């Protein structure tokens, strides 16, 4: 098993390597891995494709679990992917501090792996939804949100069938009290998520999950026509470079 290297003083990248390497995991049914790899490249980091059956993270400095329908969302969204070999390493390294971002299906996988609390249920209107979605940034101190400001409003695409975030009241109160709600839906709650939660973080701030797709809002010619999502990828790059 490959251990995640600790960043040290370096010329050009963490751990003395020339580039900051960010891995993007592909599971069977992943749809947005190439979009995420492109977003990483546009931010200035080196994108590294990771295959779900390979436990080796190939010396990446951070990991993105991309969106899609891993294993066809059989049983529950993310329930099978959580047991893929790569997740054994990701869970271990995330608990040791490695930054991990879960987008849509990736968020679902993070909850199934218990790296983030709560669960994702079927949308309350029982329909797949695809729309541009306005969000409010609630936490700008995580590894993935440092280029945003608290209260900032951004717009990124949203597409999901099982996007309704739920947790018991005690967990929700803890998330609120600890500032771990990272994003909330604005104007409309598209899937019935409790307390309008669109994304959350773990207590350490290195693991973030959200349902909307920032990787689809990194170039003005695609997605929303804005680059509101690029900040996720520039944030992690700056975090790793300054470590």
Catalytic residue, chosen from 104, 112, 138, 216, is 104
Its sign, for the CA torsion 223, 138, 33, 99, is positive
Its sign, for the CA torsion 167, 77, 43, 154, is negative
Give backbone dihedrals phi and psi of 86, rounded to 5 degrees, phi first.
-65, -30
pLDDT of residue 1: 35
Residue pair 131/157 in contact by the 8 Å Cβ criterion: yes
Q: Is 118 left (phi over 0), alpha (psi -120 to 50) or beta?
A: left
Determine whether 215 is an active site residue.
Answer: yes
Rounded CA gap, 193 and 211, in Å? 10
Residue pair 214/143 in contact by the 8 Å Cβ criterion: no
pLDDT of residue 164: 97
Tokens of 96: 């040791």
Determine whether 125 is an active site residue.
Answer: no
Nearest to 208 by CA among 180, 237, 170, 242: 180
Determine whether 213 is an active site residue.
Answer: yes
Tracing tokens 């309704």 back to the chain, one arrives at: 164
Its sign, for the CA torsion 138, 143, 149, 154, is negative
Splitting the chain (243 residues) into consecutive groups of 10 residues, what average pLDDT does each group show? 35 52 97 97 97 97 96 85 95 98 98 97 94 97 98 97 96 98 97 98 98 96 88 97 84
pLDDT of residue 150: 98
Residue pair 148/231 in contact by the 8 Å Cβ criterion: yes
Tell me the C-alpha to C-alpha distance, in Å, between residue 30 and each of 70, 75, 202, 215.
5, 16, 24, 14
Q: Return the bridge partners of 26, or none.
A: 51
Catalytic residue, chosen from 52, 112, 138, 215, is 215
């Amino acid at each position: 098993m490959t251990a995640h290297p600790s960043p040290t003083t370096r010329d050009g990248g963490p751990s003395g390597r020339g580039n900051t390497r960010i891995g993007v995991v592909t599971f069977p049914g992943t749809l947005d891995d190439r979009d995420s790899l492109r977003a990483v490249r546009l931010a200035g980091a080196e994108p590294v494709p990771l295959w779900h059956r390979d436990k080796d993270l190939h010396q990446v400095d951070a990991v993105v679990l991309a969106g899609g329908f891993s294993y066809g969302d059989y049983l529950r969204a993310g329930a099978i992917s959580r047991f893929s070999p790569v997740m054994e390493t990701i869970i271990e390294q995330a608990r040791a501090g490695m930054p991990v971002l879960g987008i849509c299906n990736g968020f679902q996988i993070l909850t199934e792996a218990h790296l983030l609390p709560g669960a994702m249920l079927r949308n309350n209107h029982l329909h797949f939804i695809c729309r541009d979605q306005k969000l409010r940034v609630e936490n700008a101190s995580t590894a993935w949100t440092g280029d945003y400001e608290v209260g900032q409003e951004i717009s990124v695409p949203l597409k999901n069938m099982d996007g309704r975030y739920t947790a018991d009241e005690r967990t929700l109160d803890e998330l609120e009290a600890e500032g771990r709600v990272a994003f909330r839906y604005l104007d409309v709650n598209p899937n019935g998520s409790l307390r309008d939660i669109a994304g959350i973080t773990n207590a350490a701030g290195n693991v973030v999950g959200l349902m909307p797709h920032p990787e689809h809002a990194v170039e003005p010619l695609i997605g929303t026509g804005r680059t509101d999502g690029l900040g996720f990828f520039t944030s992690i790059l700056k975090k790793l470079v300054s470590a």
